[in-house]
């Protein structure tokens, strides 16, 4: 059993994922795969990638769900909506994937809270994958070891990169800025303020793992009447007033 090192700095580096703006394009998953194939945990294997049963190591996976919210999170006048749900390691504050490791290969860094795997010590027993309720651990059948999201630790501390590029690859490529990176241990950081403003949530909080990564719930959907086109006016009469009224209605929501 592996002990969790106490945090020495108060820093909790992690991701904030906005489920309202994620469009499920999988750019994050592809960028993650590309970067990590040549990075800290390389290589990431693929088996039969173009066949009927492709299998491989992916640190990011994106799932799509059709939901029917009643109220609150994602609720509103629309009856259903599609929610795209990116899934990767949440770098939990209380990670059982670390404590069950018999060799100490899985560990949580004291200085920034990132959970990593030392492949030289990993024996591929898969206990960590059984302990993780989020399915974030990946078994590499070629190396016989476990792998997972590193939060691009070899990128965010790389002083050869411009400061603006010292972010995880998945954050860099997101076309809708649905993924944010920062210090969630600092209440004044941009990510912490967004979590507070939007009511960011933990995934499966009842389990007590206290994930560092947070999800921002989908906003309430607009009523169809708010975005409906203007009806035709006989002879174009009052079109200006009706247009101003429509704009006012949108801005007043």
pLDDT digits (tens, 9 = 90+) for 6-34: 888 999 999 999 999 999 999 999 999 99
**What's the rounded mean pLDDT across residues 61-90?**
78
pLDDT of residue 54: 85
**pTM of the full structure:** 0.82
Share of the chain above pLDDT 70, in %: 83
Q: Is 253 a residue whose pLDDT tops 80?
A: no
Cα(216)–Cα(218) distance, integer angstroms = 7
d(CA 90, CA 97): 11
Q: Which residue has the higher pLDDT, 252 or 143?
A: 143
Residues 6+ apart with CB under 8 A from 96: 131, 132, 209
**Residue in the block written with tokens 């389990």:** 207
> What is the reported pLDDT for 5?
86
Q: Cβ contacts of residue 195 below 8 Å, gap of 6+?
A: 16, 184, 214, 216
How many CB atoms neighbour CB 13 within 10 A? 22
Nearest alpha-carbon partner for 204 in 109, 81, 92, 128: 92
pLDDT in tens, 219-234: 877 665 555 666 666 6
């Amino acid at each position: 059993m592996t002990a969790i090192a106490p945090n020495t700095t108060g820093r909790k580096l992690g991701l904030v994922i906005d489920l309202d703006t994620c469009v499920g394009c999988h750019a994050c998953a592809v960028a993650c795969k590309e970067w990590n194939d040549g990075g800290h945990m390389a290589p990431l294997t693929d088996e039969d990638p173009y066949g009927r049963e492709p299998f491989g190591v992916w640190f990011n996976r994106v799932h799509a769900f059709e939901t029917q919210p009643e109220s609150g999170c994602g609720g509103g006048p629309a009856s259903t909506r599609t929610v795209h749900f990116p899934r990767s390691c949440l770098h939990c504050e209380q990670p059982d994937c670390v404590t069950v490791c018999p060799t100490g290969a899985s560990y949580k860094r004291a200085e920034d809270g990132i959970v990593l795997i030392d492949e030289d010590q990993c024996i591929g027993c898969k206990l960590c994958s059984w302990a993780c309720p989020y399915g974030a651990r990946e078994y590499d059948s070629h190396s016989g070891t476990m792998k997972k999201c590193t939060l691009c630790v070899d990128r965010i501390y790389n002083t050869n990169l411009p400061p603006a590029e010292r972010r995880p690859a998945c954050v860099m490529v997101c076309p809708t800025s649905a993924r944010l990176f920062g210090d969630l241990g600092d209440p004044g950081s941009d990510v912490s303020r967004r979590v507070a403003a939007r009511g960011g949530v933990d995934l499966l909080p009842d389990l007590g793992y206290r994930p560092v990564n947070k999800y921002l719930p989908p906003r309430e959907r607009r009523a169809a009447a708010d975005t409906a086109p203007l009806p035709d006016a006989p002879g174009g009469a009052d079109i200006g007033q009706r247009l101003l009224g429509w704009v006012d209605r949108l801005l007043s929501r």
